[in-house]
Amino acid sequence: MNTTRLRLWLATPSFRALLALVFVAAIGCVFNADGAFFHWSTHRDMLRQVSVYGILACGMTLVIISGGIDLSVGSVVGLCAVLFARQTLRQGEAAPAALGLVLAAGTAIGLASGTLVARFRIQPFVATLAMMVFARGLAKWVSAGQKISQAIQHPDGSFTYVDLPPIFQRLDHRILWGNLSVVTLIFLGCVLLCWLVLSKLRCGRYLYATGGNEEAARFSGVPIAGTKLLAYGLSGLFGAVGGICQAVQEQQGDPEAGSTYELTAIAIAVIGGNNLMGGRGGIGLTLLGALTIGYLEKILSINAVGESSRLMLTGAIIVSAVLLQRRRAG
């Protein structure tokens, strides 16, 4: 590789996202909590913990590339978590039917946001903010405001317990001799799906064109409304996947689940170097962003940093990582 090409590569967003990740990993190597950072189990747990956020960030990336934003995904996680718990723990529905229903519900929420944005031309921020509030309400209505767990409370105050259906165990365990969580695998599957959409399919090109210059895309015959519906629909679908993962990990459906997850998902996309203006970015960047955020949280927790300091440090490090990327951009 000659120097010009090297220099060009050094200026790419991927390299800059990698730099941010290495920066955070370096912090981990220094503050390694007596070597805990060097154990595989630390990394495995980090991957498990970041997976739900990462799944949401996949959908967020598609929406951001199309020039929008989706604030509703956190609420979709809550709705889908309680819906999944209700269908499996209360109704005793078979796993495939429950999964199908929940995925459909998440997609429907996404399509509704998409319709508000594409058809009624409401600004994405406003439309999905409304959807965020609405879906949270729906979650509370479905669950009657209670957590749905194995314990069923009867009117006389006594409890009975139902068995956890096998689907919970199947989704929340580790494969490859305990080295990889299934939820992490699901996250990687979502990344793969997004990569296929964005770089192999026509509709992915349309996402970039719509976010890059909507008017020019429209004049070029790009179906703008369909493209936006696709982005928000997939974001809703990924929200549902995240909600199911959340439910199996908590072994219950909490109507408050997923609050503020949308913000973490946006942070992941942005720290990876996706531009909120739309039209540029990629799923690889989001994967790097997820790892960066994941390591950050993990390093702070293995060093037993208190919550107050952890939040402040997270904020500061997000800003420094983004600034670091910009400096490189020259």
Partner 1 sequence: MPARLLALRRIGKLFGTNRVLDGVSLDLNEGEVHILAGENGAGKTTLIKILAGIHTDYEGEVEIRGEPARFASPHEANRAGISVIHQELSLIDSMSVMDNIHLGREPALGGLWLDRRGQADQALALCRRLDLDFSAGDLARPVEQFPLSVKNLVEIAKALAFDARILVMDEPTSALNRTEVDRLFTLIGALKRRGCGIIYITHKMEEIYRVADRITVLRDGRWVGTAPAGECPESRLIQWMIGRDLSPHCRPASRAAAGAGNAALEVRGFRVPHPIPGRPPAVSDFSVSLRPGDVVGVAGLQGSGGTELFRGLFGAYGAVCGGSVMIDGKSFRPESPARSIMRGLSYLTADRKGSGLVPAMSVEHNMTLASLCRASPGGVLRPRRERASAARQAAALNIRLASLDQAAGTLSGGNQQKVVLAKWLETQPRILLLEEPTRGVDIGAKSEIYSLMRQWTSAGMAILLISNELPELLLLSDRILALHRGAVTGEFSRGEATPERILAAAMGSPEGTGEARA
Six-digit token pair at 213? 């210059």
With 0-12 / 13-18 / 19 or more C-beta atoms within 10 angstroms meaning exposed / middle / buried, residue 144 is: exposed
- Residue 104 touches partner 1, criterion: CB under 8 A: no
> Angle, nearest 10°, between helix axes 124-143 and 95-118?
150
- Residue 90 touches partner 1, criterion: CB under 8 A: no
Buried-exposed string 203-231: b where 16+ CB fall within 10 A, e elsewhere: bbbbbbbbbbebeebeeeebebeebbbbb
Stated length of the chain: 330
Q: CB-wise, 258 or 273, nearer to partner 1?
A: 273
- Residue 327 touches partner 1, criterion: CB under 8 A: no
**β-strand pairing of 151-153 with 180-181:** unpaired
**Are 78 and 239 spatial neighbours (Cβ–Cβ below 8 Å)?**
no
Q: Which of 215, 260, 306, 308 binds partner 1 (CB under 8 A)?
A: 215
- Give the span between the Cα atoms of 18 and 16, in whole angstroms: 5
- Residue 231 touches partner 1, criterion: CB under 8 A: no
- Give the span between the Cα atoms of 89 and 298, in whole angstroms: 32
Rounded least distance, CB 16 to partner 1, Å: 15
Q: CB-wise, 31 or 195, nearer to partner 1?
A: 195
C-alpha distances (whole Å) from 318 to each of 19, 193, 199 are: 13, 27, 28
- Residue 6 touches partner 1, criterion: CB under 8 A: no
**Are 189 and 287 spatial neighbours (Cβ–Cβ below 8 Å)?**
no
- Residue 209 touches partner 1, criterion: CB under 8 A: yes
Contacting range for partner 1; rule: CB under 8 A; set: 71-79, 169-177, 185-193, 221-229: 221-229
- Residue 180 touches partner 1, criterion: CB under 8 A: no
- Give the span between the Cα atoms of 286 and 283, in whole angstroms: 5
Q: Which of 221, 260, 304, 307 binds partner 1 (CB under 8 A)?
A: 221
Contacting range for partner 1; rule: CB under 8 A; set: 22-30, 175-183, 211-219, 249-257: 211-219
Q: Which of 174, 280, 310, 328 binds partner 1 (CB under 8 A)?
A: 280
- Residue 272 touches partner 1, criterion: CB under 8 A: no
Contacting range for partner 1; rule: CB under 8 A; set: 18-26, 170-178, 214-222, 316-324: 214-222
Nearest to 148 by CA among 256, 261, 260, 258: 256
Q: Which of 153, 199, 309, 320 binds partner 1 (CB under 8 A)?
A: 199
- Residue 130 touches partner 1, criterion: CB under 8 A: no
- Residue 4 touches partner 1, criterion: CB under 8 A: yes
- Residue 218 touches partner 1, criterion: CB under 8 A: yes
Q: Which of 35, 202, 304, 306 binds partner 1 (CB under 8 A)?
A: 202
Helix, coil or strand: residue 130: helix
Which residues are at the interface with partner 1 (CB under 8 A)? 4, 7-8, 11, 199-206, 208-209, 212-213, 215-223, 279-280, 330
